[in-house]
Amino acid sequence: MITGMPFKLFQKMKKNKIVFLLFLSGTLLFSCEKEDIDQVKPDIDMSAMDAFPVACDTLYFGENFTLKAVFTDNVELGSFNLDIHHNFDHHTHSTEVIECNLADKKEPLNPYILIQDFEIPEGSSSYEANLEISLPSVNGDGKYDEGDYHFHINLVDKNGWSTPYGVGVKMMYR
């Protein structure tokens, strides 16, 4: 058994360590600001009467169309991406809820592809997309393949949460 002065010094140091650790943990606990962490994905609203395109709409090569959608977020929006690609093989995306009448499967010869990113003005928690998009009628290989395509939007908020929206559309010549 330890007795005398060394034991009392040991006990005092042990007590001081405990007090110091309690002080340190209390300081850390109360000095840290609670940060609100955004855990909500942004929203793509295509329910307005003039929203475009929606499932099974037709887009025409050589013409313009206007993307109309409302994007919202509980904190702040970041950007969105458009992706238009063929669906000649009848693949699906998890966001499609309406099945359009599909043409027979076919091999793509000269499919149209658009992949483009768009920034949303900083500080926006709501943004009305009203974007005119021009669809060319030809490229260096000639006329684009008509048929079934997917129109896909991916909306990202400032914190990195994303929401996809995808529908089947027809892309044709008049």
Q: Could you report the per-residue pLDDT of 71-110, keeping only the tens digit for each?
A: 999 999 999 999 999 999 999 887 777 889 999 999 999 9
> What band does 152 get if pLDDT is binned at 50, 70 and 90?
very high
Structure confidence at residue 35 (pLDDT): 64
> Residue 50: pLDDT above 90?
yes
Question: Tokens representing 148?
Answer: 């079934």
Q: Which residue has the higher pLDDT, 48 or 95?
A: 48
Mean pLDDT computed over 150-156? 97
Structure confidence at residue 99 (pLDDT): 84
State the Rg of the chain over Cα: 29
Q: Where are the beta strands (DSSP E) in 61-174?
A: 64-72, 77-86, 114-119, 126-134, 138-139, 142-143, 147-157, 162-172
Alpha carbons 18 and 122: distance in angstroms, whole number = 49
Q: Count the Cβ atoms, other than its own, within 10 Å of residue 1.
A: 3
Full-model pTM? 0.78
Alpha carbons 35 and 19: distance in angstroms, whole number = 28
> Residue 10: pLDDT above 70?
no
> Residue 7: pLDDT above 60?
no
